Structure 1
Amino acid sequence: MQSTKRQNSHDQYWRLSAFAVASKNDLLPFVNMGGYTALAKTITKDTVLGYAFRIECEQLCYFQCSDAELKRFAKDRGIDTPEGRFRRSAIIEVLEHADETLAFTKFLDLPPELRTIVYDYYLAVFPEVLRNPVQPPLTRVCRLLRTETLPMFYQRTTFQVRLSHGQYRTSPRLHMVGDCADFVLSLAANDRSMVRKLELDIGPSGKSADAKIVLASLGADGAGYEVVVSRLYETHRLHDESFKRTLENIKEAVGQAIRGIVEGKAAMTGFAMEDIYTLRAAIEQA
């Protein structure tokens, strides 16, 4: 995988960290904490970078293994070790190369319940909230994996919907902001129906200083929901009584709207486009 520092970008959130932009001196404490404490002072940045990626991928640090363990790893994996006297550095290099070139071609032969465990680990490292994401690569490998992983991705992820009154705040109507509108409107009805959690990012001007106000979510079974104040950038305004009342009004309005959505359907399995519009209207009228 390629690395990036833009973890929340719509097509970058699933990638590894951007270690490449860090200096060697910045990386050394990180790799030392990961067990690579016996590195030579003349080690190159590329080598340090390789160890940083091993830590990110949760691969074993062979420097912490005994000679007997290293020999056992090589034997169990059928790896040819260097001939002659035992050299730790040589066998570690061979094992690390084997890790980098490891291929597992029997994944689809695993029982579905074991594949689900793998998907859980894959999804667990995504950011808590995603803005306008593309579908992760695992959902585009083959038809079977897409069928198994796409519902998990939509059902377990919180998607942010950004709403704004616009720069001059002259209209009560909230609009979806830019690429957020493109994302929400491009979702197929079936995809939206799998979404369980929405974060409504409400900023009068869409700027970072505005409040992140409401998190609305449905329970995994579609029957439950919650409305909470999510994040506030303008913390000094928490002591402003009118501001606090506004937050409570919005919270109550969204709660009532979700109750109406849930009660109005025989089986609330996810969000439809009209549900998002209903939540928006509730906030506008609060």
Structure 2
Amino acid sequence: MSRPQIADRLGRSDRGLLTYENCSVGELEAFALQRGIGTSDADPALTKTALIRILHHADDRLSFPRLFDLPPEVCVMIYESYCAHFSEEHLHMPTPPPLALVCRRLREDVMPVFYGECSFRIELTEPSARCRLVPKTALFFSTLPAASLARIRWLHIYMRFDSHRWQDEDEIAQIQLSGKGTKFSLQTMPYVNPDASERMPAEVQALVEQKLRPVLDAMLSRTQGRGHVVLMDIHRLLWAMQDSWTHYAFDEYRYEDTDHGAWESDSDY
């Protein structure tokens, strides 16, 4: 098997397509007939190689013109499966997924699922009592329609501890809201940088949780928009982080930017 054939075989496997080489001629003819690309009367006995070539060509031109004829719940399952790929990353000011750009109808159907399935970053500047949303975060949430913002279920708070470090921003906390808006989960991250060995002190983790939890409790207790994100919630989470940086735990511990990085107490100086 040549290198291009191996690459094609791997590509088809990644796409979840059938390996026709493992099928008999009769099976290939049945596949072709089922898809309306059967052999013509003038050429009733194509070779296996020719049948495989025809089916490969049809696979490369796959279309499904009856999507909107499916029951709505089936369409939602398709959109959820499609958006699952994007949920693997914590998105920061994302553009609409390609499927949502096909037509207005698909955009209206796909985007609510996209916001409900994906995780979004709240990125802050360096730790201080005056920390702010970075421009991209502020622009994204301030321009997002309220209905789209209300569908978001996953939020991840990031912060850059040192603007001179080459590493990416550090994840501070993960927030998950239930689909019905009746409960939430909050997890503070134990490590400032997962690629390094420095550990965020337990006092700091507890403080961050202590400041963030009342914001989330208030989201679940309000009568209007209960359990759903509104723009003011983003700012309240920011203010909670600002409040954390004025607390004694952040006066007692500070991050020392060394070759390896470490949380060190003032008593070490």
- 2:64 maps to a residue whose letter is F
Residue-pair matches, total = 237
Indicate conservation of the 8 Å contact 1:81/1:94, yes or no: no
Quote how far apart the aligned CAs of 1:175 are.
1.9
Q: Which residue of 2 aligns with 1:114?
A: 74
SS in 1 for 2:59: helix
How far apart, in 2, do the equivalents of 1:51 and 1:221 lie?
44
Residue in structure 2 matching 1:132, options 93, 96, 104:
93
Q: Give the structure 2 partner of residue 212 of structure 1.
A: 171
Query: Counterpart in 1 of 2:180?
Result: 221
Cα distance, 1:231 vs structure 2: 6.9
The answer on 1:148 being equivalent to 2:105 is no
CA distance in 2, matches of 1:285, 1:192: 24
* Higher CA-based Rg: 2
Q: How does 1:1-286 map to 2 (within 5 A)?
A: 40-41=1-2, 43-44=3-4, 48-81=6-39, 83=43, 86-128=46-88, 129-165=90-126, 171-205=128-162, 207=165, 208=167, 211-230=170-189, 232=191, 233=193, 235-238=196-199, 243-286=201-244
Aligned partners of 2:211 and 2:240 also within 8 Å:
yes
From the superposition, tell whether residues 260 and 141 of structure 1 become closer, same or farther in structure 2 (CA, over 3 Å). Answer: same
Query: By how many angstroms is 1:145 displaced?
Result: 2.5
CA RMSD between the two structures: 2.5
**Maintained 8 Å contact 1:217/1:226:** yes
Alignment correspondent of 1:26: none
User: Is contact 1:164–1:205 with CA below 8 Å preserved after alignment?
Assistant: no
- Contact kept in structure 1, 2:215 and 2:236, CA below 8 Å: yes
Contact 2:119 2:153 in 1 (8 A): yes
- 2:180 alignment partner, SS class: coil
Contact 2:171 2:189 (8 Å CA) reproduced: yes
Matched residue of 2:204: which SS? helix
User: d(CA) in 2 for partners of 1:99 and 1:191?
Assistant: 35
State the alpha-carbon separation in 2 of the partners of residues 150 and 113 from structure 1: 15
Identical-residue share of aligned pairs (%): 26
* Per-residue deviation, 1:121: 1.7
Output one character per residue of 1:99-121: Cα deviation in whole Å (capped at 9) or x when no partner: 11122222212221221221122
Q: Which runs of 5+ in 2 are unaligned?
A: 245-269
Contact 1:173 1:284 in 2 (8 A): yes
Tell me the amino acid that sits aligned with residue 94 of structure 1: I
Asked if 1 retains the 8 angstrom alpha-carbon contact of 2:220 and 2:227, the reply is no
How far 1:142 sits from its partner (Å)? Answer: 3.1
SS of the residue corresponding to residue 194 of structure 1 reads coil
Aligned partner of residue 186 in structure 2, secondary structure: strand
Letter in 1 for 2:214: Q
Q: Partners of 2:223 and 2:57 in 1: how far apart?
A: 55
CA distance in 1, matches of 2:182, 2:86: 25
Q: 1:269 to 1:258 in 2, by over 3 A?
A: closer
* 1:151 shift after superposition: 1.4
TM-score of the superposed pair, with normalisation by structure 1:
0.73
Asked if the contact 2:182–2:220 (Cα under 8 Å) also holds between the matched residues in 1, the reply is yes
CA pair 85-149 structure 1, distance change in 2 beyond 3 A: closer
| C-alpha separation in 1, matches of 2:16 and 2:73 | 22
Structure 1 stretches lacking a partner, 5+ long: 1-39
CA distance in 2, matches of 1:250, 1:221: 25
Closer/same/farther in 2, CA of residues 209 and 104 from structure 1, 3 Å limit: closer
